[in-house]
């Protein structure tokens, strides 16, 4: 009996050691790039990549979704799930709601400047939806929100499940470093749903918003997006750039957010996003 047990041990011990070695190696993969694929063939794939070199001095994250590959690439996954004030990226949803409620008729709807002098010269004139998006004119969208009203605004945010849906910060400022918050990952999901006409807005109105979000088109590559900047006093502490790139019959949706004690602006977030997208041969 003892000899039989020894014999079985000799046979199975190498197999047991091989299984242990395999599992150990599997769990010690490179932390800067981890590929996680769910069993369901329709599930999204997630690739976590170390892109910290692009975010020096800032608490930042990058989320990218490749439509054709059904794949996410994420830097700083914990931050990608953190809810943050959307600032002027909320203009995308504000425009959709304004169009759906007939507060806005199309991209040429004019709101008159009331004469208030703003530090940004482009704000000191009458605006259309197109110019208000291009120049990120806060007063234009404050007027949109005022005309939509608190009750309808809340209904729409609940309907599209926008972030924490909290507009308690005030009808004309809840999205400006205030009560409303959304994560970078949810920003990308919102863009995906808008692009695919899965939001509760008409195709016509979604197409209008897509049109005003377009930034550039070159060599068959189209970049669309919106910046956002949040301030604390005179310090820029929250910068966004979200959007998508259309090329080669594919669409790449992205969101960059940076937070810092100062100089964390939408302009910087846009530059970081463009640098990453160019280095990945997307832009």
Per the CB < 8 A criterion, the answer to whether 37 and 45 are in contact is: yes
Angle at 102 between CA 99 and CA 107, to 5 degrees: 45
CA trace torsion 39, 42, 44, 47 (10° rounding): 50
In the structure, how many helices (H) and strands (E) does the chain have? 9, 8
Separation between Cα atoms, residue 194 and residue 255, nearest integer Å: 15
Tokens 């005003």 identify what position?
212
Which runs of consecutive H residues, i.e. helices, occur in 44-183? 77-80, 91-100, 129-134, 138-148, 150-159
Can 88 be counted among the known catalytic residues? yes
- State the catalytic residue, choosing from 43, 52, 56, 88: 88
What is the side-by-side strand order in the sheet with 250-259?
33-36, 45-49, 71-75, 59-66, 250-259, 235-247, 221-232, 214-218
Active site residues: 88
């Amino acid at each position: 009996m003892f000899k039989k047990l020894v014999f079985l041990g000799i046979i199975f011990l190498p197999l047991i050691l091989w299984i242990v070695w395999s599992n150990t190696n599997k769990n010690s993969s490179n932390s800067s790039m981890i590929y996680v694929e769910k069993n369901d063939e329709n599930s999204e794939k997630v690739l976590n990549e170390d892109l910290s070199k692009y975010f020096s001095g800032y608490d930042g994250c990058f989320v990218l979704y490749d439509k054709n590959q059904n794949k996410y690439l994420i830097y700083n996954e914990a931050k990608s799930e953190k809810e943050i004030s959307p600032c002027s990226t909320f203009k995308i949803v504000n425009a959709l709601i304004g169009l759906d409620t007939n507060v806005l008729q199309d991209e040429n709807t004019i709101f008159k400047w009331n004469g208030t002098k703003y530090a940004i010269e482009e704000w000191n004139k009458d605006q259309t939806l197109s110019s208000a998006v291009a120049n990120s004119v806060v007063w234009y969208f404050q007027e949109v929100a005022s005309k939509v009203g608190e009750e309808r605004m809340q209904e729409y945010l609940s309907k599209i499940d926008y972030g924490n849906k909290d507009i308690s910060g005030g009808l004309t400022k809840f999205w400006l470093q205030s009560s409303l918050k959304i994560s970078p990952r949810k920003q990308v999901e919102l863009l995906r749903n808008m692009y695919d006409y899965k939001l509760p807005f008409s195709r016509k109105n979604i197409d209008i918003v897509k049109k005003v979000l377009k930034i550039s088109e070159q060599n068959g590559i189209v970049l669309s997006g919106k910046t956002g900047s949040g301030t604390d006093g005179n310090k820029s502490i929250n910068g966004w750039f979200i959007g998508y790139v259309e090329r080669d019959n594919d669409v790449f949706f992205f969101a960059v957010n940076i937070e810092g004690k100062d100089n964390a602006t939408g302009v910087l977030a846009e530059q970081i996003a463009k640098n990453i997208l160019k280095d990945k041969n997307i832009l």
